[in-house]
Amino acid sequence: MRRSIPVIFVLVIVIVLPVSFIKKEKASKEELGKLLFFDPILSKDHTISCASCHKPEYAFADTSAVSRGVTRKKGSRNTPSAMNVSLLTSFFWDGRAADLEEQALAPVENVTEMNLPLRQALYRLKNNKNYYRLFQEAFADQPTARNLAEAIAAFERTLETSDSPFDNWKFSDDPNAVTDGVKRGFALFSGKGKCTSCHFGSNFTNNDFRNIGLFNARNLKDSGRSLISGKTEDVGRFKTPGLRNVAITAPYMHNGIFKTLKQVIDFYNDPGKIVPNAINRDSLLSKSLGLTTQEKKDIEAFLHSLTDKRFNEVVKRK
């Protein structure tokens, strides 16, 4: 007589088998963009990725005055933070990219950075089984220039921060979130320091270009925005950077000339003292601000208060 299958065995089959057939969720554009951002597949010699210069632990900025690309080629400008970029209206220090998608592809083909022709980058992605599948999942299409840019830009748009001591003080009504020095510093930043003439809004930038006095056609020869616009009045103008997480994105300025926030504040206090022969410096900086030592410290304290709490460990190490 044939023995029947025990009931418990049947139940196990019914319960376990469906688990192996659960379908994995499709990759999103943001997830694909994140993989691409950290993968050296987009550089000529497979040695660097976007994250090589935009270091996550330093608010997606670099710690060098200028970054190095493939074969250790030295760049000419400081790497800006890739965080809090969703509201920006132009990209790069000279504003040569109009949107995040255009910005995303530029370093790939730049001979000093990743130095990989776009057609070769797409060839690699199309012939990589994993990436081909992920592009199909995210875009229902094979890798193209358009969706490659869209994926990286989608990831960059997720890199927003708004949980800093300053935010908790100003927008969450917590009077104890910052020190009295920070409060004094913000008042100086908004008043005597004239900083809000250029640094305002949620990301502390006017999305414009200014000549702050770092062009003299001698040792400081980068003419900035004029290389793109062709306008004489744009000589020496550079994009006003946002200030969120600025305390951990040193060195500063388009050429990384200043190593500390103290040096930056000293410069703005009296630009002519640091660069006496600047050409076409903005009229806002024509005279010394007359900041005292304590006022400078208070402004620096305010700038530190713009650091998102996710970077607390980095701040402790500094």
Cis omega before residue 40 (within 30°)? Answer: no
Paired residues of 239 in beta bridges: 209
- Residue 30 catalytic? no
Interval 197-254: pLDDT, tens: 999 999 999 999 999 999 999 999 999 999 999 999 999 999 999 999 999 999 999 9
Active-site entry in 25, 57, 109, 113: 113
User: b/e for 188-212, b at 16 or more Cβ within 10 A?
Assistant: bbeeebebeebbeeebbbbeebbbb
Interval 269-309: pLDDT, tens: 999 999 999 999 999 999 999 999 999 999 999 999 999 99
Give me the amino acid identity at 292: T
* Contact of 83 with 62, CB cutoff 8 Å: no
Instruction: Tell the CATH topology of 29-156.
Output: Cytochrome Bc1 Complex; Chain D, domain 2 (1.10.760)
**Torsion angle of alpha carbons 29, 20, 127, 38, nearest 10°?**
50
Are the folds of 29-156 and 165-317 the same? yes
* Contact of 278 with 272, CB cutoff 8 Å: yes
As a whole number, the mean pLDDT across the chain is 92
Task: Please check the confidence at residue 101 and state whether its pLDDT lies above 90.
Answer: yes
Domain ranges of the chain: 29-156, 165-317
Select from 228, 247, 229, 237 the least CA-distant residue to 299.
247
Distance in angstroms (rounded) separating the CA atoms of residues 129 and 131: 6
Top-tier CATH class for 165-317:
mainly alpha
